[in-house]
C-alpha cells in the first residue's frame, strides 16, 4: 500500500542542519512489526507513524520508534510529526493548539509564529542519582567525578539522566564511550551569549550514539534547571555542534508554570512509501 511520507528536519529553519525525522503520515493497518522494521530501515534516530486518535481530545496519534524499539515520548518527533500532519492537511480542533496522543498520553503543541512548541510532559522519574551510578557516568563521559557540577534523573520517557558541567566548552570537549545509559549533558555559555546552554545527548541504549538535537531531554533539563533556579526563561539552547549541526531549542515557561519547548521545522523530502 502506498502511503504519504515526509522527512522533516527539526529544530532548524535551514535544511540539513537539525535533526531529521521520518514520518509515515497515514499509517493505519500497519502492524507493530512493520513499523519497527521500517524504522530500522530508515536508520534515523526516530521514525513516527501517524494514526487517527483513540482519545477524542486528541487531533492525531503518533507512534514513535527508534531503530530498535518504541518510545512513549520524544521531543523532536513530536514537533516533526505535528509539522508533517499540518502540512498534509491536518486541521486541529483549536486553531493555535494541536493535541498529539502518544505513549505518555496527550501532549499539547502550540504555534509560535513560524515555530511549534510542545508542553513538556511530567517527569516519570526524577530525584538524585546514587553515587555508584554517578561515578560510572563520569567514567562513561571520560571526566573526573568532581567535574560534574550536578546530576539527577530527568526521565520523561526515554530514560534520561541529566548531567550539568561547568561550561559549554566542557560539554563540547566530551568524548564519551558507548554505554547502556541515556545521558543528557549541558553546560552554560558565558553571560551575554546568544545561547544559554550547549547540550549533548547520548542514548546508545536505544541505538542512538549521539542525538543531533533532542526535544525530550531539553524539556526535562529545563524543568530541572528552572526548579533549581539555575536559569530564567525564555532561553535558547544550542545542540548538535560537535556533529556539524546547528540545532536551536527555544524554551519558555507560561504563567501557569508549563514549560514549552519549541523550534523550527522544515520538510526536506516529500513523497510516498510502499508499506
Which residues are the active-site residues?
Answer: 46
Residue bearing cell 512548541? 117
Is the previous residue joined to 226 through a cis bond, with omega within 30 degrees of 0? no
Beta carbons within 8 Å of 114's beta carbon, 6+ residues apart: 13, 264
57/161 Cα distance (integer angstroms): 31
Residue bearing cell 527508534? 66
Closest to 22 (Cα-Cα) out of 81, 98, 73: 81
- Cα separations in angstroms, 39 against 25, 32, 193: 14, 11, 38
Q: Angle at CA 224, nearest 5°, toward 218 and 230?
A: 100
Half-sphere exposure of 108 (CA within 13 A, CB side): 13
- Cα pseudo-dihedral 27, 215, 245, 172, rounded to 10: -150
166/71 Cα distance (integer angstroms): 31
260/97 Cα distance (integer angstroms): 12
130/210 Cα distance (integer angstroms): 24
Cα Rg of the chain (Å, integer): 18
Amino acid at each position: 500500500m502506498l502511503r504519504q511520507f515526509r522527512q522533516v528536519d527539526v529544530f532548524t529553519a535551514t535544511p540539513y542542519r537539525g535533526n531529521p525525522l521520518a514520518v509515515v503520515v497515514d499509517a493505519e493497518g500497519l502492524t507493530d512489526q512493520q513499523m519497527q522494521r521500517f524504522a530500522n530501515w530508515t536508520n534515523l534516530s526516530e521514525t513516527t507513524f501517524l494514526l487517527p486518535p483513540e482519545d477524542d481530545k486528541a487531533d492525531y496519534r503518533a507512534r514513535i520508534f527508534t531503530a530498535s524499539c518504541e518510545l512513549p515520548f520524544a521531543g523532536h518527533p513530536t514537533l516533526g510529526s505535528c509539522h508533517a500532519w499540518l502540512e498534509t492537511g491536518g486541521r486541529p480542533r483549536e486553531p493555535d493548539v494541536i493535541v498529539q496522543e502518544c505513549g505518555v498520553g496527550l501532549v499539547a503543541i502550540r504555534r509560535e509564529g513560524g515555530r511549534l512548541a510542545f508542553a513538556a510532559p511530567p517527569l516519570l522519574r526524577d530525584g538524585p542519582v546514587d553515587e555508584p551510578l554517578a561515578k560510572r557516568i563520569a567514567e562513561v563521559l571520560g571526566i573526573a567525578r568532581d567535574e560534574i557540577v550536578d546530576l539527577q534523573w530527568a526521565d520523561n520517557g526515554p530514560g534520561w539522566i541529566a548531567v550539568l558541567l561547568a561550561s559549554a566548552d566542557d560539554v563540547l570537549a566530551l568524548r564519551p564511550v558507548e554505554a547502556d545509559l541515556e545521558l543528557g549533558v549541558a553546560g552554560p555559555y558565558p553571560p551575554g551569549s546568544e545561547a544559554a546552554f550547549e547540550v549533548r545527548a547520548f542514548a546508545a541504549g536505544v541505538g542512538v550514539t549521539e542525538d543531533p538535537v533532542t526535544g525530550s531531554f531539553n524539556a526535562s533539563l529545563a524543568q530541572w534547571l528552572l526548579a533549581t533556579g539555575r536559569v530564567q526563561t525564555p532561553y535558547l539552547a544550542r545542540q548538535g555542534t560537535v556533529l556539524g549541526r546547528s540545532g536551536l531549542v527555544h524554551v519558555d515557561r507560561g504563567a501557569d508554570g508549563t514549560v514549552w519547548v519549541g523550534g523550527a521545522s522544515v520538510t526536506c523530502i516529500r513523497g510516498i512509501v510502499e508499506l
